[in-house]
């Protein structure tokens, strides 16, 4: 976001925007603008001061907001919510049942972890990372923060996952992580002795 002095043409960078868009509303005092902004996470509605670039979030949640417009003394925006849930079905495609409750997050990268546990990647209220859900009770816990793409060995003792630009191997509970490759997504062999990944 850049402020341009109309008299001199001098440009002053107020804020580096990771992602933004959807309109701009100039405040009544002419000292701030309201925009959609995403520094890390879903796009939110933020007011940015035109003098120093200081940002004040008007929203701060897991929903994504698109567009801003002035409506009298209010800012109008569109809120996009994601609701996901985990389901299990038998091998004949019958007896489908939901595991736990709907969550306000996108859930993906599923894998079985043994002992009726299911691992998935999600950014939920308790944090972003690999979550472990009990398929009977539906209870879930954040297993590995800031990680994704889980793969569990058949014996349930070794977990492989992606974190910060690399693949890691860890114990089944996420402890003792060790970086094993500079790759994104991988799968562990059934016996847990090898990790397979694509390289391009």
Q: pLDDT per residue over 141-183, tens digit each?
A: 999 999 988 988 888 888 989 888 888 999 999 999 999 887 6
Of 16-20, 42-46, 93-97, 143-147, the range with the lowest mean pLDDT is: 16-20
Quick one: average pLDDT of 42-59?
87
Domain(s) labelled CATH 2.120.10.30 in the chain stretch across 84-197
| Residue predicted with more confidence, 152 or 63 | 152
The per-residue pLDDT for 89 is: 83
User: Is 23's pLDDT higher than 80?
Assistant: no
Task: Report the SS3 class of residue 179.
Answer: strand
pTM reported for the whole predicted model: 0.59
Q: What are the DSSP calls for 22-62, one per residue?
A: EEEEE-TTSSEEEEEEESSSS-EEEEEETTT--EEES--SS
Whole-angstrom Cα distance, residue 176 to residue 26?
51
The per-residue pLDDT for 21 is: 60
The per-residue pLDDT for 177 is: 93
The per-residue pLDDT for 84 is: 80
Q: Can you give the C-alpha Rg of the chain in angstroms?
A: 22
Q: pLDDT per residue over 88-137, tens digit each?
A: 888 888 888 888 888 777 787 888 887 788 898 888 777 889 999 888 88
Of 32-36, 81-85, 137-141, 178-182, the range with the lowest mean pLDDT is: 81-85
Q: Is the dihedral of CA 191, 192, 196, 197 positive or negative?
A: positive
Q: Is the dihedral of CA 33, 38, 42, 43 positive or negative?
A: positive
User: For the structural domain made of 84-197, what CATH number should be given?
Assistant: 2.120.10.30
Whole-angstrom Cα distance, residue 24 to residue 83?
28
């Amino acid at each position: 976001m850049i402020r341009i002095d109309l008299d001199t043409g001098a440009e002053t960078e107020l804020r580096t925007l990771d992602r933004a868009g959807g309109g701009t509303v100039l405040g009544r005092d002419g000292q701030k603008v309201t925009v959609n902004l995403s520094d890390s996470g879903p796009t939110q509605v933020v007011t940015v001061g035109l003098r120093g670039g200081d940002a004040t979030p008007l929203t701060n949640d897991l929903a994504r907001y698109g567009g801003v417009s002035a409506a009298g003394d209010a800012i109008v925006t569109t809120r996009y919510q994601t609701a996901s849930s985990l389901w299990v079905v038998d091998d004949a495609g019958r007896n489908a049942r939901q595991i736990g409750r709907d969550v306000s997050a996108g859930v993906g990268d599923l894998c079985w972890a043994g002992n009726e546990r299911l691992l998935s990647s999600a950014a939920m209220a308790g944090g972003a990372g690999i979550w472990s859900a009990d398929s009977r009770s539906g209870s879930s816990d954040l297993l590995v923060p800031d990680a994704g793409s889980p793969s569990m060995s058949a014996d349930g003792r070794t977990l492989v996952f992606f974190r910060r630009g690399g693949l890691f191997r860890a114990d089944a509970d996420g402890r003792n992580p060790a970086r094993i490759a500079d790759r994104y997504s991988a799968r562990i062999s059934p016996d847990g002795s090898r990790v397979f990944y694509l390289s391009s």
